[in-house]
Amino acid sequence: MNGSGEFIRGFTEYIILSILEKFDSYGYELTRVIESASGQVFQPTEAALYLALKRMTEDNLIVSGLQKNKKGMNRRVYSITPEGLNRLTAFRKDWGKIHQHLQTLVAGEFTYVRDEQ
């Protein structure tokens, strides 16, 4: 699917928070989770992912720290903060409405009466 990163752009933050709610993770693994969970349909670019992680860290939705991998090399691992969990919970409350309205608009299942001018 061409441009798959564009399809999730507005939801990247919530996707990352959903993953970090389950377990702490590092950037490359986050990409692999997104690709795996979407059946390879969504393939975020490294740049888009790291920009989102930077922004989310600045907004105190996540925190990061260095952790040694199996080979003894440091990698940056991200964790969700209480503020991030609150943001995710609030979004999930609205998700049903968001999904329903997007489905209506994208599928063309809406009616609209134009004003005569």
Decide if 24 contacts 79 (C-beta within 8 A).
Answer: yes
Query: Is the pLDDT at 49 greater than 80, yes or no?
Result: yes
Q: Would you say residue 30 lies in a domain?
A: yes
117 located within any domain: no
The total domain count for the chain is 1
pLDDT at 5 over 60: no
Residue 52 belongs to a domain: yes
| Domain interval for residue 82 | 4-106
Chain-centre distance of CA 56, in angstroms? Answer: 11
Proportion of the chain in helix, strand, coil states, percent, rounded to 5: 60, 15, 30
59, pLDDT greater than 70: yes
The CA-to-CA distance between both ends of the chain, in Å, stands at 41
Q: Which amino acid makes up residue 84? A: G
pTM: 0.84
Contact 110, 101 (CB under 8 A): no
CATH number at residue 101: 1.10.10.10
Q: How far apart are alpha carbons 84 and 37 in whole angstroms? A: 21
Whether residue 115 is contained in a domain is answered as no
Residue 9 pLDDT: 75
Q: Which tens digits make up the pLDDT trace of 80-112?
A: 999 999 999 999 999 999 999 989 999 999 999
| Position 33 pLDDT exceeds 80 | yes
What's the CA gap between 55 and 57, in Å, rounded? Answer: 5
> Does 116 fall in a domain?
no
